[in-house]
Structure 1
């Protein structure tokens, strides 16, 4: 289940939403959540700018609200938090930001090396990261296959599988380490974003990028897909908002969370949220 993103949405829930509940990060019972399952692996699919804001908000919320360490991989230097995040978290403490480590690999090879080094960093750090975030997988995978057009797709799919497997393996390793150290922040979650070339071709609610071969590969490794779909209806425009987005959760992790009956402190399964973006840059989430 995408519990970190659920924490984000509940923390910045609309004050008019009667379904609001206290933010928390539920920790599954080790007996029911094997490290190999990579509990909480989520792929955010949709518009690049918005998915980046969601990932940054997830990092900040995890560090400030849950008090866990975060490692954030991105190709783009982050000079300052976006206006939307500053509006959402106006009183963010420097101590919370220190829990987030930003890394800037430029290529797929550099990203693979830095993810692999997470195993080594655990020897020098008393508290390993409990959240791995990768911003913009498409930037690392685009053109990584080389060769002809057909070979490019085949190579990119192979690279996507290699990178996803390494990310999941690292998250599973850190989960085991956190559990051995009796850390309350276990397991280690994994969140990545991906914008497909097919995102501009709308197939329907929650079905963007359905025919992307790289996305098909990524879906095999990530338990949950979080799809960002812009609402272009007249009602959304008439509401006086800058933007309205629908957020759809799907995938194996959602199905398993829905059918689980014996997991302690199991979070409620919410498959759809709505993101309201105002002209002043502030953001609110609403459970649908």
Structure 2
């Protein structure tokens, strides 16, 4: 489910929240067979969350990460360098960056994850796609919403392939080492509808999101807090994080979670003037 994102939030948690988290946290329930999360929000902050997830997965969990993005990553952002100043080169080697330029190239590269030559000696346990909307939007034939005509079917095709690849790699990981499974999937998307309510749901229906929600079990919505309290706290930025979706609902209703705290569904991301990032439970 959201095990990697939750690990990110807790690893870089505000120190005032660490004790509270230790008191509230019980052994977690088993993760479902497939783990897919859609990160919804401004691409600049969602990319930082994706990179933080990749780095945490590689360094804390020791798993391989496949990171798809259109934009070349020459170095980690300053904010991430401040969060993980002692990141080892060996951990970074576990993250493979790939730069498909078009949705056709992305489809081809995701499909190639099935090939034995790419899954040997060990396949990735986390697939990340940065800025899905950038692949659905392109020059020529753009509709009034900014996407190609047929963008919904394209979004469905790509999402289905990503989920299928994740499920395939999960089975492969289980065959080789059950401790490495499942293969998680995290995709970021910046909706044309960027106004959300307190539960993280858009006020206006976005047809692309309607499609994506059918494939991704959890939605992680990033909503910037522009209130006076946030500005008065002396922070550069404050982002509210809402976790919702079928994956959260199932985890909260399982027998294992009836007598113990479930996954926190609301967090805050605090960004300080020096670039340092901290997460706080709400």
TM-score normalised by structure 1 residue count:
0.89
CA RMSD in angstroms comes to 2.6
**Separation of aligned partners in 2, 1:24 and 1:112:** 40
Is 1:134–2:129 an aligned residue pair? yes
Equivalent residues in 2 for 1:194-209, closer than 5 Å: 194-199=189-194, 201-208=195-202
- Counterparts of residues 177-196 of structure 1 (less than 5 Å): 177-196=172-191
Structure 1 pair 66–147 and aligned structure 2 pair: CA distance change class (3 A): closer
User: How far apart, in 1, do the equivalents of 2:147 and 2:122 lie?
Assistant: 40
Offset from partner CA, 1:184-236 (integer Å, 9 cap, x none) = 1200000000001221x455551247511101100100000000011111111
SS in 2 for 1:117: helix
Task: Tell me which stretches of 4 or more aligned residues in structure 1 moved more than 4 Å.
Answer: 22-27, 121-124, 147-154, 202-205
1:12 aligned residue: 12
Whether the 8 Å CA contact 2:137–2:148 is kept in 1: the answer is no
Instruction: Report Cα offsets for 1:87-109 as digits up to 9, x if no partner.
Output: 00000000000000000000000
Q: Counterpart in 2 of 1:282?
A: 276
Long gaps (5+) in structure 1: none
Could you tell me how far apart the structure 2 residues matched to 1:165 and 1:95 are? 32
Using the size of structure 2 for normalisation, the TM-score is: 0.91
Asked if 1:76 is matched to 2:71, the reply is: yes
- Structure 1 residues 224-266: Cα deviation after superposition (integer angstroms, max 9, x where no partner): 0000011111111000000111000000000000011148xx9
Counterparts in 2 of 1:182 and 1:141: CA distance versus 1, 3 Å: same
Contact 1:122 1:128 in 2 (8 A): no
The CA deviation at 1:28 is 3.0
Please identify, of 90-99 and 178-187, the stretch whose mean Cα deviation from structure 2 is larger.
178-187
Question: Does the alignment pair 1:28 with 2:30?
Answer: yes
C-alpha separation in 2, matches of 1:135 and 1:150? 20
2:193 alignment partner, SS class: helix
Q: Is this contact kept in 2: 1:42–1:190, CA < 8 A?
A: yes
Task: Say if 2:142 and 2:148, in contact at 8 Å, map to a contact too.
Answer: no
- 1:251 is matched with which residue? 245
1:96 pairs, out of 91, 100, 104, with 91
Secondary structure in 1 aligned to 2:180?
A: coil
Whether the aligned pair in 2 keeps the contact of 1:144 and 1:155 (CA below 8 Å) is no
Distance, in Å, in 1 between the alignment partners of 2:76 and 2:143 is 40
SS in 2 for 1:284: strand
Unaligned runs of 5+ in 2: none
How many corresponding residue pairs? 278
Q: 1:153 to 1:25 in 2, by over 3 A?
A: farther
2:225 maps to which of 231, 244, 248: 231
